[in-house]
Amino acid sequence: MEMTEKAEGRRERKRRETRERIEQAAMSLFLERGFDATTIEEITEAADVSKRSFFDYFPSKEEVVFAWQDSFADRLMAAIAERPASDSSVKAVEEALIVTVTASADERAMALGELIHRTPTLKARDQLKYAKLEQKLTEALIARKGGDPQARTRMRLLSTIVIGALRVGSEVWQARAPDVSMEGSSMEAFAREIFGELWKMLAEFGEETKTSLQGNSIR
C-alpha cells in the first residue's frame, strides 16, 4: 500500500512538471513571438513533449494562456479562507484580493496581461474570467458565513461589485504609462486606491438614492 501511494505521488509530480514545462515554453514563445505567430508544434518542441501530450493537458493554445487565471482564482479563494473570522465580508474580500493581486504583480504577469490586451482572440475570452471569479468568490464568502443560504444574495451582490471593480481597475492599470513601476508595492497602492474610490462612490450612490426616495415620498 505504501509503495502504491508513493508511485501515485510520483506520477502526479511528473504530470505537474510536464504541465508546467508546457506552460513555461508556451508563455516564453507567446511573449517573444506573439500568440498568433506561435504554433502548437513549436510549443511541443520547446517543451520536449509530443503533440498528443500537449492535448492531454490543454485542448488549445488559448487554454494555456488562461491556465494562470485558474491559479489566480485558487489563490484568491485561499486568501479569503485565511482571513480572520472577525473580519466583515467587505474587509475579508478587500484584503484577500489586494494580497492576491499584489503577489501576482510580477513582470511576467504584466507582460501576459499586455499580450491578452493586444490579441483580439484572447481579449474576448479574457472577459469570461470575471464571471468565473465572481462565482468562486461568492461561494468562498458564503462558506465564511457557515454555508448560510440566506446570505447568498447578499454575498453574490458583494462579489459582483468587487469583481466589477477588479475589471475596471485592470483596464485602468493597462492604460497607465508604460514606464510606471510594476513592483508589488505600487500595485498594492493602486489596488487600495481603487477600493477606496469604490466604497466612496457606493456611499455617494446610497445618499443619492436616499435623497431620491425622500423626494418621491414628499410628492
Q: How far apart, in Å, are the Cα atoms of 156 and each of 37, 39, 159, 162, 202? A: 40, 40, 5, 10, 16
Below-70 pLDDT ranges, the chain: 1-8, 69, 176-185, 212-219
d(CA 72, CA 22): 18
Supply the pLDDT for residue 162. 92
Supply the pLDDT for residue 59. 93
Supply the pLDDT for residue 210. 74
Torsion from C-alpha of 76, 81, 85, 87, nearest 10 degrees: 0
14: amino acid identity, one letter: K
Domains of the chain as residue ranges with CATH: 1-59 (1.10.10.60), 60-218 (1.10.357.10)
Supply the pLDDT for residue 5. 43
Helix (H) or strand (E) holding 105: none
The phi and psi torsions of 176 (rounded to 5 degrees) equal -65, 160
Supply the pLDDT for residue 185. 57
Sign of the dihedral through C-alpha 156, 185, 67, 74: negative
Supply the pLDDT for residue 174. 73
